[in-house]
Amino acid sequence: MTGQKIPRVQFPADVRRDTLAVREGLPPSAWGENSEALFLTSSFVQPDAATAAARFANEEEAFIYSRFSNPTVTMFERRLAALEGAQACIATSSGMSAILLLGMGLLKAGDHVICSRSVFGATIMLFGREFAKFGVETSFVSQAEPAEWRRAVKLNTKLLFAESPTNPLTEVCDIRALSVIAKDAGAWLAVDNCFCSPALQRPMEYGADIVIHSGTKYLDGQGRVIAGALCASEPLVEEKFVPVMRSAGMSLSPFNAWVVLKGLETLSIRMRAQSARALVLASWLEAQPQVERVFYPGLVSHPQHALAMAQQSGSGGAVVSFIVKGQAAGGAALARSNAFHVIDHTRICSITSNLGDTKTTITHPGSTSHGRLTEEQRQAAGITQGMIRVAVGLDDIEDIKTDLQRGLGTL
């Protein structure tokens, strides 16, 4: 072992998070660039055969091959780890592949997982269908009822998985309570922090072992690339996840890493600005007669408002969901057609299921993000046909109100 390490940026010991967001990564190359370089290379030239052998054998830290190590990707990993307060991070090609890496790294046939019933639709499919093919059983429980999680624990429970707030119902889970249940069970707790990002919530401060990200959302922040990441302790990343990445290769491309790396520089100010606009919109929606219910953790009417405020830096995040009237009078069909009416009358909001963009997006979760679920799974997740999700961007919020009023006012 030569002990050679990839160098670190040197900071004063008390440097704060906002500074890390723009400077953590790698020291500049020999050319002294101020903006981080994009290393578009699939492999790295080694000085000689013996050094190559040492590096492939992990005796020396160096860049070898971009499936598992690339300087631009490393810069993103170090910066995101710093923001999450994690020792380490491993970047992945998408948010879903971060959850795939989580499962492949921690689980084996015969293991049991407890997962919130309200998580993103593809996450339910990954645990409930794909991992089940390999003999991993998942129990789905209520997001907001820690007692249900505790009751679901079995001798073979290895992982608890939550997302907070959830997509699209913005249900909040008590991360600290779940971390206690996980520790008692000898299991890991993983939290998908996609909706809040580390700018508002750092799950590890509440006892989570692993934080999952879809970098596609707020980390990029401008709807440009698909990306993901998993943050955890250094031993967990090195022992459980890096070997899987080397063999399975769900790696983040250097170009996409560069985009999300630069996105992290403005994450905090974007999140704060978008959340402030979302609160204005949610309060306005609550007062509209055509709206049956609004889901937004920043509203006092949200059942977990107090918990959300404590866990999410006093912010509700930037996603607002609401149900248009119709279900009571005409059932699911009328509710769905009313929701489509509101969506189709917008002229500014982008009709797309992505979120976390500076452009405000609008979607009908029941037929898009949660469209592949069975009706039973959708009902269990609380997704009704009258529901609309708005992911508030940096548009002037008065324009977004006018945009929604066009459809709501003609229902």
User: DSSP label at 226?
Assistant: -
216 binds ligand PLP (CB under 6 A): yes
Q: What is residue 388's three-state secondary structure?
A: strand
The answer for 197, left when phi > 0, alpha when psi is -120 to 50, beta otherwise, is left
Q: CB-wise, 298 or 326, nearer to ligand PLP? A: 298
| Residue 219, strand partner residues | none
214 binds ligand PLP (CB under 6 A): yes
Query: How near is the Cβ of 239 to ligand PLP at its closest, in Å?
Result: 24
b/e code 249-284 from CB counts within 10 Å (16+ = b):
ebbbbbebbbbbbbbbbbbbebbebbbebbbbbbbb
> What residue is closest to ligand PLP based on CB?
95
92 binds ligand PLP (CB under 6 A): no
228 binds ligand PLP (CB under 6 A): yes
> With contacts defined by CB under 6 A, how many residues of the chain interact with ligand PLP?
12
E runs forming strands in 183-260: 188-192, 210-214, 228-232
Applying CB under 6 A, among 77, 111, 163, 357 the residue interacting with ligand PLP is 163
Q: Which stretch binds ligand PLP (CB under 6 A): 88-96, 277-285, 333-341, 357-365?
A: 88-96
CA distance 366 to 327: 14
Applying CB under 6 A, among 95, 165, 221, 254 the residue interacting with ligand PLP is 95
Closest by CA to 385, choosing from 346, 342, 338, is 338
Q: CB-wise, 162 or 408, nearer to ligand PLP? A: 162
321 binds ligand PLP (CB under 6 A): no
Closest by CA to 189, choosing from 231, 218, 227, 147, is 231
Query: How near is the Cβ of 220 to ligand PLP at its closest, in Å?
Result: 9
Contacts of 190 (CB under 8 A, 6+ apart): 102, 159, 160, 161, 162, 208, 209, 210, 211, 212
Q: Which stretch binds ligand PLP (CB under 6 A): 93-101, 261-269, 339-347, 373-381?
A: 93-101
Q: CB-wise, 167 or 311, nearer to ligand PLP? A: 167
Q: CB-wise, 64 or 119, nearer to ligand PLP? A: 119
20 binds ligand PLP (CB under 6 A): no
Query: How near is the Cβ of 4 to ligand PLP at its closest, in Å?
Result: 34
Burial of 180 (0-12, 13-18, 19+ CB in 10 A): middle
User: DSSP label at 48?
Assistant: S
Applying CB under 6 A, among 24, 192, 209, 220 the residue interacting with ligand PLP is 192
Q: CB-wise, 116 or 338, nearer to ligand PLP? A: 116
174 binds ligand PLP (CB under 6 A): no
Query: How near is the Cβ of 343 to ligand PLP at its closest, in Å?
Result: 18
96 binds ligand PLP (CB under 6 A): yes
Contacts of 370 (CB under 8 A, 6+ apart): 121, 168, 378, 381, 383
What does the per-residue mask of binding to ligand PLP show for 115-154, with x meaning CB under 6 A?
A: -----x----------------------------------
Question: Interhelix angle for 327-344 vs 397-408, to 10°?
Answer: 130
Query: How near is the Cβ of 228 to ligand PLP at its closest, in Å?
Result: 5
Cα distances from 103 to residues 99, 127, 183, 246, 310, in angstroms, run 6, 8, 18, 15, 30
E runs forming strands in 21-105: 88-92
Applying CB under 6 A, among 66, 72, 167, 201 the residue interacting with ligand PLP is 167
393 binds ligand PLP (CB under 6 A): no
Residues making contact with ligand PLP (CB under 6 A)? 94-96, 120, 163, 167, 192, 194, 214, 216, 226, 228
